[in-house]
Each structure stands twice: as structure tokens, then as C-alpha cells.
Structure 1
Amino acid sequence: MDARAAVVREKEQDFAIEEVSIGEPRQDEVLVRVVACGVCHTDLICRDQWYPVPLPSVFGHEGSGIVEAVGENVTKVKAGDRVAMSYNSCGGCNNCLSGTPGYCAKFFEANFTGGRIDGSNAYAGTIEGGSEVHGHFFGQSSFATYALARERNVVKIRDDVPLELVGPLGCGIQTGAGGVLNSLKPEAGSSIAVFGTGTVGMSAIMAAKVAGCTTIIGVDIKPGRLELARELGATHVINGAEENSVERIKEITGGGANYSLETTASPAVFRQSVDCLTRLGTCGLIGAAAVGTEAKVDISTLLLFGHRIQGIIEGDAIPDVFIPRLLELYVQGRFPFDRLIKFYELDEINRAAHDSESGEVLKAVLRMPA
């Protein structure tokens, strides 16, 4: 199968649209004709080699589309089904078997090595570049007109939702919403501060409203994002460039937030997200920093008094369960994630990446040529 794909050949270089050859699906694999794919922060930091994904590679891990063909052992979907694609996992380790696939023992091998878990690669060379191209990024590599996923990481999608919208549910939106609903599980009437109001943070704010939090604080330095955060459910917003976020949160909550969520990967902001908590408060850490990044917290005045720091991968979500729940909330008008999305064509991927990095757009979604 030949596909048009956005290929990154060198660190920090632009995407180039090339023709890639993809092998036939194995027994547990699903070939998907991609309709659209979200542009995620993780795609861009892997392009820039924060994580050592081999190059040249096809990235993209928030794909949605229509099943073209399935391997002989696949039973969950069939040709013609509408699907979203999410992260990959091995399915056989203790964490996968216990219902926490985001913490799969082979998560790196399944998502970041440029091949299958066994080291093989279904992606051959390109007409333009010639040399081997790595695929299987997050088990999909969906910056392309076709993607090869596994049965484990495709989710069948209901018919009454536009297919081009649903790809970002597979990572960024799932991560933010799941960070609240699955990981922190705030009680109705509790308070939460969300640091960073990008796609992940906005999804967390909408989820906090669904959960019944009565004090929802959005923290950012972009006024336009803070205005949208109010519209989507934040009861208070703080411009961190103009106010002391920790002092203001303690003032709003009468001593500190019950929960906080850090989405920026900034050590300084992470410290604020811990400092703003009340005693026995919990900070959820989502932001993906470069490997080796460290942050400091005060052991005596913070952690000793029952504060908790919880790392969160993929919103602790089981995609087959959580994505349909988010879509039901969307259909009911309670989770309007479509307000985060701006569409681009595949050949506009570098503009979409720039707009995402500059903060001009919250969630860029690429539409594939028919």
C-alpha cells in the first residue's frame, strides 16, 4: 500500500510530504484510511529529538479514519468501520493485564522506537528519499493517508459524530480529561487549579466541570486562552505573567486547592502547581519535559503534610472505554471539545506545527486528501 505521508528526515527540520510504501497488516493489525489527524506536542518534540525516535520517521498519533483491511485474527473492527487511533501497548505485561495499559512495561518500545514491538518495520523507503522510513509511531504513524495500527489501539466510533473531529481524543484530549476523571477523581464541590490552558488543560477544565468541581481555576499567560477557559467551565482565571499564581489560588480557595494539574512541563510551573495545594492536596503531573529535566519541591512544608504528586500517562484511560464516554458527553453538549480545533490540509503541516508551537491555535487537525 502506498501512502502520502509527512516525513521528518533530520532533527528540528520541516516535515516533507513524500510517498511511503506500507506493508500488509499482520494478524493483529488494522490498515486505516486516515481522514484526519491531530497535531500533538509529542509529535513536535519527537521531531526535535527530545525523545530519541529514529529518523527519518512518520509521526502522527491522533488519527481517525475508516478501516480498509484487517489481519486474520482481528475481531474488534472490520473493513468499513469508523475508528479513532490511540496509543499502543503490549497487552501482556502485568500493567496491561490489570487495566493500566498507559503504564505498559513496553510502552517505549510500543510507541517510540520507529517500529513494531518486535523491532520490525512495515514502512519501506520513499520515492523521493529512497532510504528506509520508520513508522509505527504510537502504533499508527497517522500523518499519512494510510496508517497501520494494531487491534489494541483502534477504537470504533459512533456514526453521529464527524469523523474528522475525533482523532485528538486518542491522546491530547483523552489525557487532559482522563487526568481529571480517571486519575485525580475530584469530589463534587472540590477545587482544582489547571496550569496551562492548551488542549490538555482545556480538556481538563471541561472534565472538571463534568465532575462537579465548583472552583475551577485556569492558569496561563495568554489572555485569549484564559477567556476561552472561562467559556468552557473555569470559574476563575489567572494570568501568571501578571499575578502571583500561588497566592491568588490560595486567596480564591481559602487556603489552597484540593487538586492541581500541571500540563506545561516547566519545572517552575510544576513547583507552583504543588505550592498552591491545601494540605492533603494532590498534584497531577502531565506535562512532558525533555529527558533529564528535574524540579524541586519543599520536603518539610509540602510533602510532609500529606501532599501527593501523581504522574499521569494518557489520562489513565482505557481508550475503548473512555473515548466513547467522552463522545457521549460531547453529544450531550457537556464536553464541547470541537471548540479547540482548527483544520489544516496535510500539505499545510508545517504551518499547523508553527501555529501550534506559537500558541496561535489550540488543536491543529490535519485533513487528508481524498
Structure 2
Amino acid sequence: MVIAQAAVVERPHGPFVVEEVELEEPREDEVLVRIVSAGICHTDLIVRDQWYPVPLPAVLGHEGAGVVERVGARVRKVAPGDHVVLTFRSCGECHHCLRGKPAYCVQLFPLNFGGRRPDGTSPIRWRGQPITGMFFAQSSFATYAVAHERNVVKVPKDVPLELLGPLGCGVQTGAGAVFNSLRPPAGSSIAIFGTGSVGLSALLAARAVGCTTIIGVDINPGRLEVARELGATHVIDARTSDPVEEIRRITGYGVQYSIETTANPKVFRQAVDCLDQLGVCGLIGAAPLGAEVALDMGTMLFGRMVRGIIEGDSVPELFIPEMIALYQQGKFPFDRLITFYPFAAIQQAAEDSEAGRVVKPVLRFD
């Protein structure tokens, strides 16, 4: 048994409260990781608020980075002492996983949002009772996490480990939407709706691949300024301007690509309406279950497409090291999105994120 400090959410919309919990030792296909840092993602906050029915009480957190402490008897990917990033889990056996598309695993939802192992057990006990302790197969808002071998990615030791947690979800989602899903060619145009951590990661990727018109759209002036600093050629404040009209004015016809990160149906419609003919909109924003949007069928008829994107279409064991290599070469400065907080300040970090005062809060553990 491992004694850990963990941020527990006891009720919907409740605070993150750091408490002592007990962790089981890793099973034969699991890994015990000492957490060094963990990013706070929008998904953690909407699960806290029960947009998705993850059982509470829960230890959330799904952008963990740390050092392997112990491994199960069947684990071969990593060994004690390795630096790792924790990411989403997939089954590895379904037809999508076997085709190299683990983000579309048929078991994605139960494996990541079920709060338990497939056999119904949890590795975390709080106040003597099992609670949700396998969120994204890691629950990394804790000093230690038990993860499955499949969602542990070994990373180089010559990169600061405290930076790397967001690569496990938010950064890989935004960057992967560009690098892996839309694949805009050099010289192309793209509009990014929502300049939070996911949208700005997409912006960094768009710059890296050579997009020459990069338009950031938001209602937060501070984030729009960050977008401009990171390479946006144009920014649009949607409070004062119609984004569709402005994008058409800038481009003369519409953009070739757009990305929607806000999960707002009105914004999603704008992200489609601003496309040029044959343009593609990548939908990333995670809306409440059952959310719907209306699209103009005449608009869609002219070759426009909408593409849903999960986790940036990434194969994490390949894509996370690729992002790190780009960062080391100075081509993907995702570290500029990060604001650090001590683990004990997790509630403040969450509030700052929701208020738009920071882009990507990352918790550091002693």
C-alpha cells in the first residue's frame, strides 16, 4: 500500500481538497509513478461539474508527468527511474487500435471516464472506501499515480519533466489536430476559435507547418495578445466583431481550415461558415452530452467538411516524443503557455483557468 496526497472532488461543482489516500501496489500490467507535475485541463473541470457522469468522489487529473517507482511483472515498456508522461488509455485490441487509431478505441469512454479498472476495481481508497481512481487510467492529481502500461510514455531525461504533463492531453489535442488530422500545407490559411491551451497549441503547430494566415478568435483580450505573440497573423475579438465577416475580409473568400475548441454551438457554426469552398473544420471542443448544432446544407454542399478530432489523432508513444523534439529545436515553444502552481494551490489554479487569467496551469509537486 502507498500513502499519497491527492486532490479529491467530493461533489459536483465542489472544490479540489488535498487529502490523504491509499493506493494499491501496481498490478502485473500497471506502473506506479511518482508525480512531478500535472496539467489542469478543461476536461478535469467539466468532469468535476458532471458534464460527463464520472462517479464522485474522485481523484481527477490526466496530464501527469513523473518518475517510475515500480512496475508490474508483465510491464516491459518502462523501468523504475524512467521519466514518463501519462496520457489516455486505449484497449490495444479493437479494430481502431489495431489500425493505429487509439484515440477512437471502442472502449475509450469506459477506460478513461469509468473511474475504475475494467474489472470494476479502483486502486485508490479514501476514508476507507474505494473512489474513482483510474480517471484516464491515471488520476494524476496526486503525489503518486497507478497507471496502465498502455498509457505510459517514456520521455527523454534531458527535458525538464515539470513541463511535459500537458503533452499527454491538451497540447497533443491541439497540436495533433494540425499535425495529424488537418495537415494544412505550407502557405495555407487557418482560423482557430478559442485561444486557450488547446487552441494555442494548434496555433503553434500551424506556425510550425508553415501556415501563412493564422487567425485567432476569442473573447479574452489577454489570450488574443498571447496568440499574437505566438505567431497569429490576425486576431479577432468576437465581442466586438463578427468573426465570419472578419475572416472573409482578411482572406477575401474564407479560410481553408478552421478549428473549434470552445464547445459552444454558436462558435462551431461560425467555424464552419468561415470556410472557403472545400475547407475543413476540425471539431475539438468537448460539449455536454446531447449538444446539437444546425448547419446550412447549402454551405456544406460546396465541398466543406467537418471532422471530429479526439486527442489530436495521435499515437502517443510516437507523437509525444515528436513534440518534445520540436520543442528542443525551438519550433514548438509550448512552455510559453504554462503557469506553475504548487500542488496545494490546485483550487486557485482551477479558478484562474476558468476565469481566463492563465492559459495552462500546471501543478508542481514537492
> How far apart, CA to CA, are the structure 1 residues paired with 2:178 and 2:139?
27
Matched, 1:331 2:332: no
- AA paired with 1:265? A
1:350 counterpart residue number = 347
- The structural deviation recorded for 1:125 is 2.8
What is the DSSP-based 3-state SS (H/G/I as helix, E as strand, rest coil) of the residue aligned with 1:111?
A: helix
- The structural deviation recorded for 1:253 is 1.2
Please give the residue correspondences for 1:64-143 in structure 2 after superposition, counting only pairs within 5 Å.
64-126=65-127, 130-143=128-141
- The structural deviation recorded for 1:3 is 0.8
Give a deviation string over 1:300-352, Cα, whole Å, max 9, x none: 2x111111000000000111101111111111111111111111111111100
2:46 counterpart residue number = 45
> How far apart, CA to CA, are the structure 1 residues paired with 2:42 and 2:304?
28
Give a deviation string over 1:29-67, Cα, whole Å, max 9, x none: 110000010000000100110000001110000000000
- The worse-fitting range, judged by mean Cα deviation, of 171-180 and 228-237 is 228-237
Give a deviation string over 1:152-202, Cα, whole Å, max 9, x none: 111111122110000000000000000111000111111000000000000
Relative to the length of structure 1, the TM-score reads 0.97
| Equivalent position to 1:265, from 263, 267, 270 | 263
- AA paired with 1:257? V
Please give the residue correspondences for 1:90-239 in structure 2 after superposition, counting only pairs within 5 Å.
90-126=91-127, 130-239=128-237
2:3 counterpart residue number = 2
1:31 counterpart residue number = 32
Give a deviation string over 1:228-260, Cα, whole Å, max 9, x none: 111111111111111110011111112010000
CA RMSD in angstroms, aligned pairs only: 0.8
2:301 counterpart residue number = 304
What is the DSSP-based 3-state SS (H/G/I as helix, E as strand, rest coil) of the residue aligned with 1:306?
A: coil
Relative to the length of structure 2, the TM-score reads 0.98
> How far apart, CA to CA, are the structure 1 residues paired with 2:219 and 2:126?
43
Q: Are 2:123 and 2:130, in contact at CA under 8 Å, matched by a contact in 1?
A: no
> How far apart, CA to CA, are the structure 2 residues paired with 1:132 and 1:53?
14
Matched, 1:362 2:359: yes
Q: Are 2:122 and 2:130, in contact at CA under 8 Å, matched by a contact in 1?
A: no
- The structural deviation recorded for 1:134 is 1.4
> How far apart, CA to CA, are the structure 2 residues paired with 1:333 and 1:311?
29
1:60 counterpart residue number = 61
- The structural deviation recorded for 1:74 is 0.9
What is the DSSP-based 3-state SS (H/G/I as helix, E as strand, rest coil) of the residue aligned with 2:297?
A: coil
Q: Are 1:56 and 1:132, in contact at CA under 8 Å, matched by a contact in 2?
A: no
How many percent identity over aligned positions?
61
Size of the aligned set, in residue pairs, is 365
Unmatched segments (≥5 aa) in structure 2: none
What is the DSSP-based 3-state SS (H/G/I as helix, E as strand, rest coil) of the residue aligned with 1:141?
A: coil
- AA paired with 1:307? R
- The worse-fitting range, judged by mean Cα deviation, of 164-173 and 112-121 is 112-121
Q: Are 1:34 and 1:144, in contact at CA under 8 Å, matched by a contact in 2?
A: yes
Q: Are 1:280 and 1:307, in contact at CA under 8 Å, matched by a contact in 2?
A: yes
Q: Are 1:35 and 1:66, in contact at CA under 8 Å, matched by a contact in 2?
A: yes
- The structural deviation recorded for 1:117 is 2.3
Q: Are 1:90 and 1:117, in contact at CA under 8 Å, matched by a contact in 2?
A: no
